[in-house]
Amino acid sequence: MATLRPFRALRPAPADALRVAAPPYDVVSTAEARELARGNPDSFLHVSRPEIDLAPGVDEHAEEVYAQGARALAGFRARGLLRPEGGPRFYVYAQRMGPHRQTGLVACASVEEYQADLIKKHEKTRADKEDDRTRHIDALSAHDEPVFLTYRAVAAVDAEIEAVKRAAPEYDLTTADGVEHRLWVAPEAAGARIEALFRAVPALYVADGHHRSAAAARVHALRQGKPGDHGAFLAVVFPHDQMQILAYNRVVRDRKGRGAEELLGELRKAMDLSPADRPEPAAPQSFGVYAGGRWWSARVRPGSFDAGDPVASLDCSLCQDQLLAPIFGIQDPRRDEDVDFVGGIRGAKELEKRVDREGWSMAFHLFPTRVEQVMAVSDAGLIMPPKSTWFEPKLRSGLFVHPF
């Protein structure tokens, strides 16, 4: 079963929502956050990236940074930018990015179910990032950014959420990236029905936010026996059939200094290589390859991998196992400085630029991981390779906060 429950959110008034809304902390650097928040004291980046209000060069993991985040959140509350809801509620959050639409339920998820693997994971967390989010959440006494969860779609849940959307939205805004965001406060009766329906959902899956969910569990343990609603964490839960995963591409630097023709020769030994008229691979188990000023198509040979293994059959695994490791000597892509990862939102032009202007030897455009593959890996209790998924659109921060 999946326990989702309403909560008393801190959120901006509709007139303030666009100024407050900000991209998630982990998709912008400190420098980018400082620039985005310049001239806007209401940007939620002052809470989620509090180092932007301290001296340039400050260690973003210094104690003063976490204290500054707490001061910023308190300031938002004192100025009335974030106001408490009258009582516990569910919220419906809809996004549109170009032709893609997705609608999720904003709710509190259970730390206990996360720890019991009823909320399933597919990614290893890094200790430094987990430590950072733990200190941040603990300092705020709030979950300021939601975890992105998914579940196998249920028609009855879809119907209840669509019924909520028939009313006028509380927020209706378009952010600078062109993504539309709408938010509805679910009536209590509809919320009760949705809550009951989710009790029959066998599992939830972390799509994005492994470090935030792990940190929420650690904060709960730190505060065990202390008052506060720290046994739950903020989440937006989307049905799997509305998920959009973009490619997570790779650029690689050849430490042997080989030229494009020699590297393409090595690729021909591993895969079927042919000229391509577009960067994106047309199907799974194939890659767009950029080298020597043009695009190629590399196709995986049948029988060269275990098709029954949910991890080994991922395109990102095939790229690592058949290209990056044997040709370029990349054994640990998490730490090797000769490989870098480029989110699909940046497009093929970014890959071309990295090779043509920045000195990388070759770029690989992957076919996007499918959400069914993510769930299969999670169901098997396995871990996906690093940088396997790039979910879009991103959830906007600052539209709802869970204080505890």
Q: Report pLDDT digits (tens) over 13-51.
A: 999 999 999 999 999 999 999 999 999 999 999 999 999
What would the mean pLDDT of 61-87 be, rounded to a whole number? 98
- Beta bridge partners, 83, equal 11
Structural tokens at position 36: 């985005």
How far apart are the C-alpha atoms of 221 and 240, rounded to whole Å? 30
pLDDT of residue 395: 96
pLDDT of residue 183: 98
Does residue 334 surpass a pLDDT of 90? no
Does residue 1 surpass a pLDDT of 90? no
Residue ranges per structural domain of the chain: 4-243+394-403, 248-367
CATH 3.90.930 given to domain 248-367: no
Report residue 320's pLDDT band, with 50, 70 and 90 as the boundaries: very high
How far apart are the C-alpha atoms of 28 and 177, rounded to whole Å? 13
Helix axes 127-140, 63-78, angle to 10 degrees: 40
How far apart are the C-alpha atoms of 44 and 33, rounded to whole Å? 10
Residue 98, classified by CB atoms within 10 Å of its CB into exposed (0-12), middle (13-18) or buried (19+), is: exposed
Report H helices in 242-298. 260-270
Question: Which among 234, 209, 279, 241 is positioned nearest to 100, based on CA atoms?
Answer: 241
How far apart are the C-alpha atoms of 292 and 301, rounded to whole Å? 23
* Residue range 125-160, pLDDT digits in tens: 989 999 999 999 999 999 999 999 999 999 999 999
Q: Give the other-Cβ count within 10 Å of 346's Cβ.
A: 14
Rounded to a whole number of angstroms, the CA Rg of the chain reads 22
What would the mean pLDDT of 54-74 be, rounded to a whole number? 97
pLDDT of residue 245: 96
Q: What are phi and psi of 77, to 5 degrees?
A: -70, -45
Report residue 386's pLDDT band, with 50, 70 and 90 as the boundaries: confident
The pTM assigned to this predicted structure is 0.92
CA 326 to chain centre: 30
Q: Which residues contact 83 (CB under 8 A, 6 or more apart)?
A: 10, 11, 12, 13, 77
CA 189 to chain centre: 31
**Distances 64 to 67, 266, 273, 295, 378 between C-alpha atoms, Å:** 5, 51, 53, 48, 37
How far apart are the C-alpha atoms of 12 and 14, rounded to whole Å? 6
What would the mean pLDDT of 64-73 be, rounded to a whole number? 98
What residue has token string 């940088």?
A: 387
